[in-house]
Amino acid sequence: MATLALNDISVQFGGLQALSEVTFTLHPGSIMGLIGPNGAGKTTVFNVITGVYRTSGGSATYDGASILGRRPHEVLAMGVARTFQNIRLFQNMSALENVMVAQHCRTKAKVLAAVLRSPAQRREEARIREKALEALEFMGLGDKAYEVASNLPYGLQRRLEISRALASEPSTILLDEPAAGLNPAESYGLMESIRRITTRGVNVLMVEHDMKVVMGVCDAIVVLDHGVKISEGKPEEIQRDPAVIEAYLGN
Amino acid sequence: MGWFFLILWPLLGIRADGLFFAQTFSIWIKVVAACAIVLVLAQLHRAGRLEWVSRPVQALGSKVQAAYAVSPKWLLATIMLALAVAYPFLTSRYGQDVAINVLVYICLGLGLNIVVGLCGLLDLGYIAFYGVGAYTYALLSIHYDFSFWLSLPAAGVLAAAAGCIIGYPTLRMRGDYLAIVTLGFGEIVRLILNNWMSLTNGPNGILGIKAPGAWVPDFARGLSLEHVWLTRPKELYFVILGLAVFTILAVYRLNYSRIGRAWEAIREDETAAELMGVNTFLLKLLSYAMGAVFGGLAGAFFAAKMRFVSPESFTFLESAMVLAMVVLGGLGSIPGVILGVLALIALPEVFREFEMYRMLVFGGAMTLMMVVKPRGLWPAKRFGKRSEEE
């Protein structure tokens, strides 16, 4: 477990200030929600953390080490995995293969070992399978391992994305609208799964619009509006915060 | 049909020794008749009148598929290998020549398949690596008297280096841009071969390359070994068969390793692959280099077989042919690529009687194929127990 700390993070796209001096800390063992109206900069925060966007100011550390300026695959290797708002599975690959890809950064067999099928490579492949199947099982997809990803129903594709992220053995997972497009029963199941994720020793930072989900599972919530953090606190505090109510409903 | 007639009529009348427009109608009648037969068959099929043929064929097809699924892989591989080994003993010199050609293109096709089929990078200059391999052996052979077997790894390594040199600047691009840039680099390599007179002897090519050598036991003089040059097609066939088997095995094993999975992830969604821990730049470069290795090995063999190389063998048309084989056979599928090579090398040989209309039939067949089976002759398996296959 490790602490993810963002300090005065700013991001600029041309003249648009997407994030200005956002600061928050994700503590080990917690589930944090990141909410805000559309265009508030929630996904931008994820893209900054995972190395997709460059910042124009501020610092971010993970487990004490700076996380900025790294390539996305290096960030994953540090232990921060993510899912996507619009599902980005490897559509033509089976569910199992999707999840096995996530083990790439934790394994190291080279070309020669693969061509010669060296004993070490065979052992490694077996371990990759084992880890991948475990991750599928964890999200309740054990029986779908050999289905092509694009053939899975929408709700299961969301779950598959989470198990793919979990298979990279992260210590922090960023969920981008995991409940989007799910029916109430599926959302409820998802809340259960998110709570169980923390029992694996994984912190959760999630962007979500479904307030029932956010209020139901999060220990702490950060509210963004127009790239500025307007509130931070426990769910019940956020619900009463006038600034938050104004951002969502206007005055 | 009208526009087709308009296009074809003048084309068919042009020959090397003059214009023969009057005769084009005799060809046209045949084309029209063939089209009519196909149309009638298609209509009958649509109306369900052909069920007495199609049903047994389908039943047979599914039975074959079931048998294929049940029988162990090693058995099938052994049978295929036995057939391949027996082939030169049952055929003439001509048949062996065609088979050598097929095997060379299998190596090339499978190499390109890594780049295009697995990694999803459109490469229009692949033949450059074939050229690098061929010239590597040619130069090592005539200047330093290197043996073929020693030059083979050198050709692979140099081709991989060329792949990295070409890949490093180009792989920052995606999609169509990458295709155009690789096309350019392919031409650059050909132009270098064509113009660097002091090294490559330019368009005159390099003569006097040695054939692969081998030590064979000489029973007449006890147990001494005798050195022979493998120059006959039958002998060369076994050299390239070995190379092709190695290529098939290597590509298969790479495909079902963490590297192959990462390549496929890049093909499916490059951004997601990067975010899921795949160093996309390095792996794209690796796919380029690995594809180049197999192209380079095939090139070294080509030089050893022809005992002559010239830049003419490495034109864009060759790149396009190899790409057509991969696409026609099925992107990412090893049996598909092999079928694609057979379709584009062996079938035109069968239709040699059509002579100058061969390319017409060829083009028509390819168009038809892409309409009927757009994912290739033997599409890559993307479901079931794919990743479990051993």
Q: How far apart, in whole angstroms, are the C-alpha atoms of residue B310 and residue B280?
A: 36
Tally of structural domains, chain A = 2
A47 close to B (CB below 8 A): no
Q: Domain boundary at A122, A145, A169, which?
A: A169
Q: Are A60 and A70 found together in one domain? A: yes
Helix or strand run (H / E) with residue B207: strand B206-207
Residue of B nearest to A86 (CA): B272
Site from B248, B257, B270, B284 to mutate, A interface, most A CB atoms within 10 angstroms:
B257
A118 close to B (CB below 8 A): no
B31 close to A (CB below 8 A): no
Q: Are A176 and A74 found together in one domain? A: yes
Q: What's the pLDDT at A31?
A: 92
* Identity of the residue numbered A225: D
Q: What's the pLDDT at B348?
A: 76
Q: Are A156 and A133 found together in one domain? A: yes
pLDDT grade for B389, boundaries at 50, 70 and 90: very low
Q: For residue B122, with 0-12 CB atoms within 10 Å meaning exposed, 13-18 middle and 19 or more buried, which class applies? A: middle
Q: Are A152 and A35 found together in one domain? A: no
Q: How far apart, in whole angstroms, are the C-alpha atoms of residue B27 and residue B33?
A: 10
Q: Are A143 and A92 found together in one domain? A: yes
Interface contact A90-B383, CB threshold 8 A: no
Q: Domain boundary at A151, A169, A187, which?
A: A169
CATH of the domain at A107: 3.40.50.300
Of B257, B271, B277, the CB nearest to A114: B257
Q: Domain boundary at A141, A169, A197, which?
A: A169
pLDDT grade for B199, boundaries at 50, 70 and 90: confident
DSSP B334: H
Which two structure tokens, joined as six digits, stand for B327? 């696409």
Chain B residues in contact with A85 by the CB 8 A cut-off are none
Which domain range does residue A50 map to? 1-79+171-251
Q: How far apart, in whole angstroms, are the C-alpha atoms of residue B78 and residue A185?
A: 53
Q: Are A178 and A236 found together in one domain? A: yes
3 state DSSP class of B340: helix
Q: How many CB atoms lie within 10 A of CB A143?
A: 10
Q: Are A178 and A155 found together in one domain? A: no
Render pLDDT for A40-59 as a digit per residue (tens, 0 to 9): 889 999 999 999 998 998 99
Q: Are A161 and A141 found together in one domain? A: yes
Q: What would the DSSP string read from start to end of chain A?
A: ---EEEEEEEEEETTEEEEEEEEEEE-TT-EEEEE-STTSSHHHHHHHHTTSS--SEEEEEETTEE-TT--HHHHHHHTEEE--SS----TTSBHHHHHHHGGGGG----HHHHHHT-HHHHHHHHHHHHHHHHHHHHTT-GGGTTSBGGGS-HHHHHHHHHHHHHHT--SEEEEESTTTT--HHHHHHHHHHHHHHHHTT-EEEEE-S-HHHHHHH-SEEEEEETTEEEEEE-HHHHHH-HHHHHHHH--
Q: Are A124 and A1 found together in one domain? A: no
d(CA A241, nearest CA chain B) in Å: 35
pLDDT tens per residue across all 251 residues of chain A: 688 999 999 999 888 888 989 999 999 889 999 998 888 889 999 999 999 998 998 999 998 899 998 999 999 999 999 999 899 999 888 999 999 999 998 888 888 888 888 899 999 999 999 999 999 999 989 898 888 898 899 989 999 999 999 999 999 999 999 998 889 998 999 999 999 998 888 999 999 988 888 998 999 999 999 889 998 999 888 888 888 888 887 76
Interface contact B271-A104, CB threshold 8 A: no
